[in-house]
Amino acid sequence: MTARSERPQRATLVDVALAAQVSRQTVSNVLNNPGKVAPQTIAKVRSEIERLNFRPNLAARALRQRKANALGIELNATGRRRLGNIQDSFLVELTICARERDAHIITFSVEDYLEPVAEYERLLATQMVSGFVLTNTRRQDPRPGWLLGHEVPFVSFGQVWDDPSFTAWADVDGGAGIAQGVRHLVAQGYGPIGYLGWPHGSPVGDDRRSGWVAATTALGIHDPALQEAPPKDMARTAAAVQSLIKAVGIGGAIVCASDTLALAAYQAVRNQGLQPGADIGLVGFDDSDTAQVFGLTSLQQPLAQIAQTLLSYLAAADAGAGAPSHGAVLDPVVIPRHSTDHHGAERLGTKRSS
């Protein structure tokens, strides 16, 4: 056993909140703004502070008072050593929004994305940042709990899945986006509408699938057999896509959980001698470079609005306001392209035959 593991763990602000059965913000107010808290609550919180021998994190408090007005964002939060289209675009939007607020974005990376806390701690020790913006949150993510326990300000692009009480987050409404995609396909004259997604268990994937279920059910066209959720294996994905194309048939359409899946469907349609848009409608998600290059209709995430929302949360917290009552869920927008131009394809066919 190492010396570090033998060292008793210091009580955190979260521990006090749990023991006193109050929110983290209430404990913070007792320490910094007691005039906002009822006397009996102050007494209860202070009793737990004394019992747990809690000592406020002076380093974090010094950071807040120093107001470096710079935010750290991790570049390797998935361990793939690349951002991907959405995170890349989000970083650009966040940097632009931060500049408008006279703030700065400091990027950094970690060697092991599963154990990132040491790098966050190191960056805080440099006093270069006054908080963090988290991305690619996941279940059993060690970052939110550590930041909360050390009273470090942060916001999150995506929910903090292990702590529903944390509300300073903003995300795209994946279910609403897929539902928009279904309605767009129906308005273009396609039917039936299938769904191509990820295996069950992914919070984002399950949310997006729920949009297909809700929209097709509301429209009276739901068929639970018209869905595929292949694992991340090229051969099985190709087989699943071919099966789904056969199930929806010519004149049908497929709404996909990502542009990557939509591209797989696009290639499978072409391989069967069919035309995307003219024969089978396709909708992707994320409006990536891939969607633009291949003419795929896709759902565009409101990244600038998400960035603005997250920075407004940090500004409000810096001004002494409490956390938002709930996280922000923002709707994406359908960006139509050739893969859902069903009517245009019909007009083109009529023109050619005349």
Would you say residue 185 lies in a domain?
yes
Would you say residue 315 lies in a domain?
no
Single residue among 10, 26, 56 that ends a domain in this structure:
56
Would you say residue 19 lies in a domain?
yes
pLDDT (average), residues 217-231: 95
Q: State whether 219 and 346 are in the same domain.
A: yes
Would you say residue 325 lies in a domain?
no
Predicted confidence (pLDDT) at residue 60 exceeds the cutoff of 70: no
Would you say residue 128 lies in a domain?
yes
pLDDT the model gives residue 55: 73
| Top-ranked range on mean pLDDT: pick from 65-69, 95-99, 177-181, 320-324 | 177-181
Amino acid (one-letter) located at 178: I
Q: State whether 137 and 218 are in the same domain.
A: no
- What band does 1 get if pLDDT is binned at 50, 70 and 90? very low
CATH (domain of 253) = 3.40.50.2300
Decide if 194 contacts 257 (C-beta within 8 A): no
Would you say residue 308 lies in a domain?
no
Provide the residue range defining the domain that includes 45.
Answer: 1-56
Taking only the tens place, the pLDDT of each residue in 297-354 is: 999 999 999 999 999 999 888 887 878 999 999 999 999 999 999 865 443 343 333 3
Q: State whether 81 and 221 are in the same domain.
A: no
Q: State whether 52 and 76 are in the same domain.
A: no
pLDDT (average), residues 83-106: 90
pLDDT the model gives residue 5: 41
Single residue among 131, 166, 201 that ends a domain in this structure:
166
Q: State whether 226 and 346 are in the same domain.
A: yes
To which residue do tokens 């107001």 refer?
67
Q: State whether 110 and 12 are in the same domain.
A: no
Decide if 117 contacts 142 (C-beta within 8 A): yes
**Residue 124 vs residue 351, higher pLDDT:** 124
What value does the mean pLDDT of the chain take? 87
Would you say residue 240 lies in a domain?
yes
Q: State whether 210 and 348 are in the same domain.
A: yes
Q: State whether 233 and 205 are in the same domain.
A: yes
pTM > 0.85: yes or no? no
Would you say residue 309 lies in a domain?
no
Buried b (16+ CB within 10 A) or exposed e, 176-202: bbbbbbbbbbbebebbbbbbbbbeeeb
pLDDT the model gives residue 223: 97
CATH (domain of 34) = 1.10.260.40
pLDDT (average), residues 255-263: 96
Number of domains in the chain: 3
pLDDT (average), residues 288-292: 94
pLDDT the model gives residue 220: 97
Q: Which two tokens stand for residue 321?
A: 């306001």
Neighbours of 95 (CB within 10 A): 16
